[in-house]
Amino acid sequence: MHWADYTAQKLAGRGSPQVVVSGITPSGEFHIGHLREILTAEMIHRACLDSGIQSRYVFIVDSMDPLRRVYDFLSPSYESYIGVPLANIPAPDENGEPDEEGGSYADFFLGPFLDALKQIGVEPEVVMNHLTYENGDFAEMIDSAITNREKIHEIIENVSGRDLPEDWFPYNPLGSNGSLDGVKVTGYEKPFVHWVDTTGTTGKSDIRLAEGKMPWRIDWAARWAIHGVTCEPAGKDHGAAGGSYDTGIPICELLGGKPPEKMVYEWIQLKGMGPMSSSKGVTIGPMEALSLVPPEILRYVIARSKINRHIEFDTGTALFEMADEYERFQVPNEEDGDLSKRQRIARDTQLGAMRLSQVERGSDPADWIAGVSFRHLSMLAQIKSDDQGVWSSLQRSGHLSGEPGFSLRGRLERMRNWVDGEHFPEEARITIQSEVDRDIASEIGNDSRAFLEMLARGLRTCDWDEGSIGETIRTSAADSGIENRKAYIALYMVILGRGYGPRVSSLMSEMDRESLIGIISSI
């Protein structure tokens, strides 16, 4: 059973409906590491619906969170906004300066991310957290938290193992400059929290309005109760022992809510660079990722991996392998009686991953199979300058009958973006030699020369297709007495200037016969 289906079955025991939640702080550019939480939640929501369980998927935007520092993409002007909720800060202009006419900082970064989510089939109910405060939905929870201040203080210290200051308070009011930083609570008379800020200014905040917010650990627990959350996956930073998930569960119960069962996911790492981090610049944005791979394959990255296993997002050869794994999908014909338990589990897990990888829920995965491997398409994208040349080649090779469909056209468009960009693996790049380099020619031994000479003769008369060329290569190697491996290395060296490459018979079938024979014969 797929992990999302298994989770849906467990959730069914809580009753109905389910409220599956994920969230994000719109403090800057988003990266595909954020998709782990979002797609994990969305796939569980889909699995609930597929099982006939009533479910909602809610995306909570932490727009009440403060700006914590001046990021590299912001001008020093934003120094004055540190501590101010993101919903109350102006968006940056093209120079990183505050733009009073450009809407809020939170909306500026959230909009493009929601557009990217829509492209991968994620259209949640969006809840802006500052509006939940503004509408008074937090008021009862804030009052309860203040009333139970000592109990919550004890929970956090005992569970997290960290000490809180004696004057700790479960509500942070906004000061006279609109910042949450440096504001000291001096008293509480429902519904007002009295305070003094760093300038000595005194004031009061109405808990029924967005004039302050609760600290993260209490805010998270309160929203579980407010929204009736039944499932919210969290990263291993929040899910670690003593983390905000562990403190949130008893705090939620204290506030009168029923917390979701703890669910922790591993992070997505960029190969060779560790976990993705916006602050460290270790990122690939979702729109950038969507320009490289089709949305259903981006979903497949998440769907195929257990949530407790980290995902290494590799834009190199591993991406070829994963995309080709998706392309090889076929609905198995075997009856359960013909399969072992392990085979049945593998089959059902794969079927679940393919089902949940579709952009449109309920669509047939077969409709989005392009019929050609990523590796083969990458080769054609590099040696065919126009799309029609690619389609003609695929028609000749039997990969395509008729005109290309929407899926295949999208594959080629993204493939060309990938080939032209910084993320395409160098070992997959193809540069066909117009003449053999002298240094390479000097390294080719007599046995390899004899093979190449015999091959050139065979290529003059063989049919010009992948199968016939492959057979000619093997026959020439056998007749010349050279080992197959050595023969292929010599051929790659002559054509590409290196000892490896794509399937050589496929590559050769796309080249002009006379030009290729000329290069081989020049040794």
Main-chain phi, psi angles of 167, to 5 degrees? -90, 15
pLDDT at residue 280 above 60? no
pLDDT score of 360: 94
Q: Is the pLDDT of residue 169 over 50?
A: yes
Pick the more confident residue, 311 or 114. 114
Peptide bond into 404 cis (omega under 30): no
- pLDDT number for residue 281: 46
| Mean pLDDT score, 137-146 | 98
Q: What is the pLDDT of residue 270?
A: 65
Calculate the CA 152 to chain-centre distance.
36
ω before 17 within 30° of 0 (cis)? yes
Structure confidence at residue 201 (pLDDT): 98
For the chain, the residue count is 523
The better pLDDT of the pair 354, 345 is held by: 354
Assess whether pLDDT exceeds 80 at residue 172: yes
Element (H, E) at 327: helix 317-327
Q: How far apart are the first and last CA of the chain?
A: 57
The residue with greater pLDDT, 427 or 466, is: 466
Place of tokens 């944005």: 285
Q: Can you give the pLDDT at residue 34?
A: 84
Lowest pLDDT segment from 162-166, 256-260, 438-442: 438-442
**Do 1-136+273-299+310-366 and 438-521 show the same overall fold?**
no
**What is the model's pLDDT at position 320?**
80
pLDDT digits (tens, 9 = 90+) for 302-329: 999 999 988 877 767 777 888 888 888 7
Q: What proportion of the chain, given as a percentage, has pLDDT over 70?
A: 95
User: How far is CA 345 from each of CA 11, 197, 257, 367, rounded to the nearest angstrom?
Assistant: 21, 60, 36, 24
How does the average pLDDT of the chain come out, rounded? 91
What average pLDDT does this structure show over 214-232?
A: 98
Task: For residue 194, list its beta bridge partners.
Answer: 187, 204
Whole-angstrom Cα distance, residue 474 to residue 478?
6
* CA–CA distances in Å: residue 330 to residues 150, 276, 351, 399: 59, 33, 9, 16
Task: State yes or no: pLDDT of 286 exceeds 80.
Answer: no
pTM of the predicted model as reported, rounded to 2 decimal places: 0.86
Q: Which fold has domain 1-136+273-299+310-366?
A: Rossmann fold (3.40.50)
Does the pLDDT of residue 275 top 80, yes or no?
no
Give the pLDDT confidence score for residue 47 in this predicted structure.
Answer: 97
Is the pLDDT at 279 greater than 50, yes or no? no
**pLDDT score at 407:** 85
Give the model's pLDDT for residue 287.
Answer: 66
Which residue ranges make up each domain of the chain? 1-136+273-299+310-366, 160-213, 370-430, 438-521
To the nearest whole percent, how much of the chain has pLDDT over 90?
A: 69
pLDDT in tens, 481-501: 999 999 999 999 999 999 999
**If you average pLDDT over residues 141-166, what whole number do you get?**
96
Distances from the Cα of 272 to the Cαs of 289, 312, 313, in angstroms? 17, 9, 10
> Both tokens of residue 143?
């009052």
Band (pLDDT 50/70/90 cuts) for residue 478 is: very high
Residue 387: HSE in the Cβ half-sphere, 13 Å Cα cutoff: 12
Helices of type H across 64-192: 105-119, 129-134, 139-147, 149-160
Which residues are within 8 A (CB) of 132 and not within 5 positions of it... i.e. 6 or more apart? Answer: 138, 223, 226
Q: pLDDT band at residue 123, thresholds of 50, 70 and 90?
A: very high
182 in the Ramachandran plot: left (φ > 0), alpha (ψ -120 to 50) or beta?
A: left
Rounded mean pLDDT of 234-243? 91
What is the average pLDDT across 45-74? 96
Question: Which of 57-71, 269-283, 393-407, 508-522 comes out lowest in average pLDDT?
Answer: 269-283
Pairing of strands 184-189, 172-173: unpaired
- Residue spans of beta strands (DSSP E) within 139-235: 172-173, 184-189, 192-196, 202-206, 212-213, 234-235
Tokens of 105: 């900082």
Q: Mean pLDDT throughout 62-76?
A: 95
Averaged pLDDT, 17-31: 90
Nearest CA to 304 among 375, 267, 270, 352?
Answer: 352
Q: Which two tokens stand for residue 327?
A: 């392309």
Sorting pLDDT into bands at 50, 70 and 90, what band is 230?
A: very high
**In what order do the strands lie in the sheet containing 125-128?**
18-24, 55-61, 125-128
CATH class (in words) of the domain with range 438-521: mainly alpha
pLDDT at position 332 over 70: no
Q: Is the pLDDT confidence value at 92 over 60?
A: yes
Q: How confident is the model at residue 285 (pLDDT cuts 50, 70, 90)?
A: low
